[in-house]
Amino acid sequence: MLISYEWLKTFFDKELPGPDEISEKLIFHSFEVEGVDKVGDDTVFDIDVLPNRGHDALCHRGIAKDVSALFVIPFRKDPLLGSGELTPESNSLEVTIEDSKNCRRFTSSVIKGVEVKESPDWLKNRLEVLGQKSINNVVDATNYVMFSIGQPLHAFDMDKLEQKDGGAAINVRGAKNGEKINTLDGGKHELDKTMQVISDKNSGEAIAIAGVKGGATTEVDENTKNVVIEAANFDPIITRNTARKLKLQTDASKRFENVLSSRLPVYGQLEIVELIQEVAGGTLDGYVDEYPTREENIDVSFSTNDVNKLLGTSISDKDTEDILRRLGFVYEKNGGEYLVTPPFERLDIRIKEDLIEEVGRVYGYENIPEEEPGTLSKIEINKRYFYAEKIRDILTKEGFTEVYNRSLRDSGEVKLENSLASDKNHVRANLKNGIEESLTLNERNAPLLGKDSVRIFEIGNVFKKDSEYTSVCLGVRGKDGLESAVRKISESLGVEVRGEKGEEIFEFNLTDLLDKLSEQESYENLPVVSEAVYEQFSTYPFVLRDIAVWTPEGTDASEVMEEIKSKSGELLKMHTLFDTFEKEERVSYAFRLVFQSPERTLTDEEINKIMDEISAYISSKEGWEVR
């Protein structure tokens, strides 16, 4: 967001600090300032406004409000204060909204007798400093108001709307599949039913893509005499999706997709009418305000004690009240509690922690004193954590490996309202489904791990319709070990562990089991994790080969393996002895070899070549023979 220093100054009577000082203050208290550049006689700040402040701060007034609070400089006149009444009512324009969820408010002003011409120098300069091209005085005025207070506006040539019964009519409706519109930038766009348009109700023609771009058919030009100025509140999701589908992201769509207050259009109208009459003349015929569902105040409670407890500060009620006043927050104090009504444009203030953040950032995080944490007289033992760690230790000693599976699945008892994908639209109701999948996946990799069976477990929360609890699930595929592992857990914990048992899987409710387990005084009895070394694993498939070797009696298997390894190279990742056979003063050893590359998929040809070299080498040794 580009912000003009000279424009900021117009909000104040008192002289502002210099651009560098403002930049530093904003960085430490409000926004990241990515650049401060001299542009002609002005200075322009490039400010990164994050989405939580996109409701109010994508404009000069929003930044000026923070400057006012941080430097304790009062506004000369706040354009968002006042009753916000739109009078008189226009009798020459009718406005209808088909779906109030998609357009929460639509205001219009009708100004007759304007003179469309080149903008005055001061207006052109304001916009050009921000990289905006001057069009004409009426269009420039709408852009000026948007950059000033954050409300997008659009001007229509009223005489280009079809007249019926002495008046024009505008309808906000959903677009039709295949509906076409030519926009002011010369673009031609085909719309669909997921989009929203502003249409000429009398002709049915779309005259603007709602919240995105105006249409060419009602363009304001040098022949325009009567204008309709629109200031509305459009659905952020529809606006965002439309702009991206059409590859038509605009300054207006950016603001709507960040969600604006439905009270803001009124102040946009009051500003634009005054400005147009200043730069283009004309007479106000009146306003139209369609506002089906009114926005209610959201009051939030907090206390200075809440601030100090969360931030580690020691500020007083006087400090809190001073900051609230500087931010323009209205409050009532009842004992130690404040009931705060944020300004309507501050849609980011919804919970107590939002207010604490506001007090903290204005107070200054650099003013929070450093304090060494005190020593706890008694460590509170988390019983669930203690026994989960104990079970982990038991199972790893039994040869099990812990796995972590996703908690989002394609089925379960609790469905998500806004899922990211159709196969992740529920939270898991058990761990066994994930363990079953992990058994299958790990079974394929068992040779690479040198395992003749797969033993895994998971500890995690599961979600039922009316409850959430911690579950433990064991899975074994291959050699038996499930029952012995469950028995070992029972013996170590001193209680019988009961759960749901299958052929390969056993799952039990740890939360319920905790009621039967003793309380602990410390974590001293838990195992300490030894230092672990991470080794990058290969994402490429492995290749298996078996080899059996006759050797003279008395030859050790490890000696045979060393000879094999000497000719296998770095591609040999794992080897296991799976058979030993003695006959006629000779002993046969059978090995399974696992080859894998970290860089590529191995071919049969290169592995066969290695095996041929091993066989030739083995056969060359006296008394040795490849079977």
220: Cβ contacts below 8 Å, ≥ 6 apart: 116, 136, 138, 139, 155, 156, 157, 227
- Rounded CA gap, 166 and 329, in Å? 46
For the stretch 137-162, pLDDT in tens is: 999 999 999 999 999 999 999 999 99
- CB 222 within 8 Å of CB 190: no
Half-sphere exposure at residue 151, Cβ-oriented, CA atoms within 13 angstroms: 29
pLDDT at 379: 76
- Rounded CA gap, 394 and 402, in Å? 12
pLDDT at 443: 85
Express as a percent the part of the chain with pLDDT over 70: 99
Q: What is the mean pLDDT of residues 98-117?
A: 97
Provide the H-helix boundaries in 59-120.
60-71
**Overall CATH class of domain 93-290:** alpha beta
- Residue 176 phi, psi dihedral angles, 5° rounding: -100, 145
**Overall CATH class of domain 2-71:** alpha beta
Assigned CATH for 543-626: 3.30.70.380
pLDDT confidence band for 251 (50 / 70 / 90): very high
Structure tokens that stand for 237 in this block:
């999701």
Of 81, 488, 117, 386, whose CA–CA distance to 276 is shortest? 117
- CB 455 within 8 Å of CB 403: no
Is residue 589 over pLDDT 90? yes
- DSSP-assigned beta bridge partners for residue 460: 471
Structure tokens that stand for 388 in this block:
């989960």
Q: Could you tell me where in the chain the CATH 3.30.930.10 domains are found?
A: 383-514
Amino acid at residue number 227: V
Q: Considering only 37-46, 167-176, 297-306, 538-547, which range has the smallest mean pLDDT?
A: 538-547
- Rounded CA gap, 88 and 491, in Å? 84
Is residue 591 over pLDDT 80? yes
Q: Could you tell me where in the chain the CATH 3.50.40.10 domains are found?
A: 93-290
- Rounded CA gap, 581 and 588, in Å? 5
pLDDT at 62: 97
Q: Which single residue is written with the structure tokens 């038509």?
A: 248
Q: What share of the chain is helix, strand, coil (3-state, %, to 5)?
A: 35, 25, 40
Of 347, 337, 453, 473, whose CA–CA distance to 404 is shortest? 473
- β-strands 572-583, 586-595: how paired? antiparallel
For the stretch 192-206, pLDDT in tens is: 999 999 999 999 999
* Per-residue H/E/C for 542-574: CEEEEEEEEEECCCCHHHHHHHHHHCCHHHEEE
For the stretch 4-52, pLDDT in tens is: 999 999 999 999 999 999 999 999 999 999 999 999 999 999 999 999 9
Of 264, 45, 260, whose CA–CA distance to 145 is shortest? 264
pLDDT at 376: 66
- What is the tally of helices (H) and strands (E) in the chain? 18, 29
DSSP per-residue codes, 202-233: TT--EEEETTTEEBGGG---TT--EEEEEEEE
CA 442 centroid distance within chain: 32
Could you tell me the sign of the dihedral formed by the alpha carbons of 243, 249, 254, 255, in that order?
Answer: negative
- Rounded CA gap, 614 and 591, in Å? 13
- Rounded CA gap, 96 and 4, in Å? 37
Strand arrangement, sheet containing 500-501: 401-402, 454-463, 468-477, 505-509, 500-501
pLDDT at 420: 85
pLDDT confidence band for 370 (50 / 70 / 90): confident
Of 248, 282, 344, whose CA–CA distance to 155 is shortest? 282
CATH T-level fold of 383-514: BirA Bifunctional Protein; domain 2 (3.30.930)
- Rounded CA gap, 455 and 196, in Å? 56
- Residue 80 phi, psi dihedral angles, 5° rounding: -100, 15
- DSSP-assigned beta bridge partners for residue 513: none
Assigned CATH for 300-367: 3.30.56.10
Q: Could you tell me where in the chain the CATH 3.30.56.10 domains are found?
A: 2-71, 300-367
CA 252 centroid distance within chain: 22
- Rounded CA gap, 239 and 257, in Å? 6
For the stretch 523-559, pLDDT in tens is: 887 877 667 777 788 889 899 999 999 999 888 999 9
